[in-house]
Amino acid sequence: MSLYESSIPTYRQVVGGMIGVLDKAIAHYGEKKLEEASLLHDRLYPDMFPFTRQVQSFCDHAAGSSLRLAGKEANLPARDETTLAGLRERCVKALAAVDSVSKADVDAHADKDIVFSMGVRQVTMRGRDYMMHFAFPNFYFHATTAYNILRHRGVVVGKRDFLGVVPGMPKA
């Protein structure tokens, strides 16, 4: 299985799932007339990022790693969302970035160096290692943490919502 086949379709699936999960959160907060700020600033533990940053990071790992692996500049948007709708739009933009890469470009970079910033330092990793051992684990960590904060806040979502549309699986 190529690097493209093992990453890009999964990003599409899970980012699509997050868009659906955010739709449910928007509906939940609207129906119950709850203050979105309480969710946006919520975190599972005091030293963890809040919900907003979890979604932003999830999107940035999907979009940024896809672009970098395709040999493109990963110019990610500012992290300035202040609403659930804004976070949903960030997911839509991340999905567009994922969709913008070609199989040939991603696969061509599997064994090439990928350079990215991690805080103030520059890190260089082989493309395959970058995707499978850095980008993917971070992507899932932030997606799962965001999902768990929503569940903790009472948004009615389940594992099928998190997974999005699974190829070959009938819709519920």
Write the pLDDT tens digit of every residue in 39-70. 999 999 999 999 999 999 999 999 999 999 99
The residue-averaged pLDDT of 146-163 equals 95
Residue 93 has a pLDDT of: 98
pLDDT exceeds cutoff 80 at 96: yes
Q: Is position 172 within any domain?
A: no
Q: Is position 168 within any domain?
A: no
Residue 171 has a pLDDT of: 74
Residue 113 has a pLDDT of: 97
Q: What is the pTM of this model?
A: 0.95
**pLDDT-based confidence at residue 172 (cuts at 50, 70, 90):** low
CATH, residue 93: 1.20.120.450
Q: How many domains does the chain have?
A: 1
Q: Is position 170 within any domain?
A: no
CA distance 169 to 80: 36
Residue 169 has a pLDDT of: 86
3-state secondary structure the chain: CCHHHHHHHHHHHHHHHHHHHHHHHHHHHHHCCCCHHHHHCCCCCCCCCCHHHHHHHHHHHHHHHHHHHCCCCCCCCCCCCCCHHHHHHHHHHHHHHHHCCCHHHHHHCCCCEEEEEECCEEEEEEHHHHHHHHHHHHHHHHHHHHHHHHHHCCCCCCHHHHHCCCCCCCCC
The residue-averaged pLDDT of 129-139 equals 97
Percent of the residues in the chain that have a pLDDT greater than 90, as a whole number: 95
Q: Is position 23 within any domain?
A: yes
| Mean pLDDT, rounded, of the chain | 96
Q: Is position 55 within any domain?
A: yes
Q: Is position 169 within any domain?
A: no
Q: Do 3 and 107 meet the contact criterion of CB atoms below 8 Å apart?
A: yes
pLDDT exceeds cutoff 80 at 30: yes
Structural domain range at position 80: 3-163
Q: Is position 12 within any domain?
A: yes
Q: Is position 171 within any domain?
A: no
Neighbours of 120 (CB within 10 A): 5
Q: At what angle do helices 3-31 and 51-69 cross, to 10 degrees?
A: 160
Residue 119 has a pLDDT of: 87
User: Rounded to the nearest 5°, which phi and psi values hold at 126?
Assistant: -65, 140
The residue-averaged pLDDT of 156-164 equals 93
Helix (H) or strand (E) holding 114: strand 113-118
The residue-averaged pLDDT of 22-44 equals 96
